[in-house]
Amino acid sequence: MQYSERKKRGKMLIFTGMLLFSIPFTPAQALDQNAFIDSLKASVKPYQLEIPSAAVHQTDNNFVIEQATIKDTDNHFFDRLKLSNININGVSETDTGYNINSFKIKTVSAALKKADIVLSGLEADSFIIPKNGNAKPLDSLPAKKLSIANIVAKIQNKDFLTASNVEVISLLENNGIIHNIRVNCPDFTIAVGSIARPNDIEMLKALNLETLHGNTNYHFTIDKERNVFSMDESRFTIDQLGSISITYHIKLEQDDLSKAQHLGNSAGAKTTQGDALKGFDLANIYLQDYKLRYEDQSFTNTALNYFVAETGLPKETLSALVRSVIASSVQENGNFAKEVDSALGTFLAKPQSLTIKLNPEQPVSLETIEELSENDPFAIISRLNVHVLAND
């Protein structure tokens, strides 16, 4: 009896062991490669991008897309991006889409309209691709973190711009109501002298502008509950010049909010006001406030001293001339012209900061601003409650 019990227990242990050890080796249902690639292609369409067919290799839940290209269907910024192999790792399928742990791309190159650009060391993690047919700008969540090790832009086969350690953070908060997008570039160099005309080289040297070093960061917020697109912080700093920062809040209808998210994710791809506002209903976009601030880092005095040497005019005379020219451009609005002249006088005497603020009593539609700019440009100043401040 005891032997029989031991035998039963032994069989049970063997069976249990076989069951446990068999679990890791049970074949998992493979991801449908075609469905995943179709969803990947659909996810970029809201951003006016297209991924033509390319060879794809799949190992379990990892994919390699060979020598892919990305086409700009609007063709306003680039024609095609050429990519080295795209390594997509840790893909898992959900009811609504695909979760991706990470992807890596060694190089991305493009021939832009006026420059050639190469990005190297691209890595992204933790992002979602909606299933085919469900891709919308507000649902196509870009990577939570995207990093680019190096960026090199060439003009006329000469290095014009280099940047390193660029990072983009994209996070959904408050159950998806708030979308935060942060862009940070801690170090860039612009070789202005490499493309300058020979006649301008001496001036660039005198102003210490042959080679510019700086950094930049942006913070966009999209509030889907209040339909507000905000530039919470945008700062562009060049060591020799100073820094420019911009903040603003714009209220939009839901359809235009989706387009605004596309603009935020494009991070500067639009190059003109007309391009940026293409497809928007200006009557449904309201400016709530806007601030532009310049903080000087000795450049103003350097520039004034240079032009004093070039013209032979005393510094006070040159400063007064600058004030007069700028103030005369708004002289029809007497009080505002005085405010501008006073602010410029304070700033030129002791350059620290210069700020332009727009703070209308009620939000003003871009359609109204456009109409006023064409028919009564000086009315914009009072309608938008524009003020200029120095050293504030």
| Helix intervals (H) in the chain | 2-22, 33-44, 198-206, 254-266, 273-276, 299-311, 315-328, 334-349, 366-375, 379-383
The pLDDT of residue 83: 86
Q: How confident is the model at residue 280 (pLDDT cuts 50, 70, 90)?
A: low
Residue with tokens 């190469």: 118
Q: Which of 72-76, 278-282, 319-323 has the highest mean pLDDT?
A: 319-323
Q: What is the pTM of this model?
A: 0.76
Phi, psi of 336 (to 5 degrees): -70, -40
Q: How confident is the model at residue 271 (pLDDT cuts 50, 70, 90)?
A: very low
Token code pair at residue 103: 């992807």
The pLDDT of residue 107: 93
List Cβ neighbours of 83 (8 Å cut-off, separation of 6 or more): 67, 68, 69, 70, 105, 107, 108
Q: What is the DSSP letter of 378?
A: T
> In angstroms, rounded to a whole number, what is the distance separating the alpha carbons of residues 86 and 107?
9
Q: Which of 52, 65, 58, 59 is nearest to 103 (CA)?
A: 65
Please write the tens of the pLDDT for every residue from 3-28.
Answer: 454 444 444 433 433 333 333 433 44
Q: Which of 343, 351, 349, 307 is nearest to 327 (CA)?
A: 343
Residue predicted with more confidence, 4 or 316: 316
Residue with tokens 């012209």: 337
Worst-scoring range by mean pLDDT, 169-178, 180-189, 311-320?
A: 169-178
> In angstroms, rounded to a whole number, what is the distance separating the alpha carbons of residues 22 and 278?
58
Q: Are the C-beta atoms of residues 288 and 239 closer than 8 Å to each other?
A: no
Give the length of the chain: 392
List Cβ neighbours of 224 (8 Å cut-off, separation of 6 or more): 138, 176, 177, 178, 179, 254, 257
> In angstroms, rounded to a whole number, what is the distance separating the alpha carbons of residues 162 and 157?
14
Q: What is the DSSP letter of 68?
A: -
Please write the tens of the pLDDT for every residue from 129-174.
Answer: 887 655 554 444 556 888 999 999 998 888 999 999 999 888 878 7
Q: Which of 292, 293, 314 is nearest to 304 (CA)?
A: 314
Q: Is the dihedral of CA 122, 77, 163, 239 positive or negative?
A: negative
Residue type at position 215: N
Phi, psi of 205 (to 5 degrees): -65, -45
Residue type at position 4: S
Q: How confident is the model at residue 276 (pLDDT cuts 50, 70, 90)?
A: very low
The pLDDT of residue 77: 61
Mean pLDDT computed over 272-283: 55
Distances 340 to 234, 320, 331, 349, 390 between C-alpha atoms, Å:
24, 12, 10, 14, 9
| Helix intervals (H) in 87-246 | 198-206
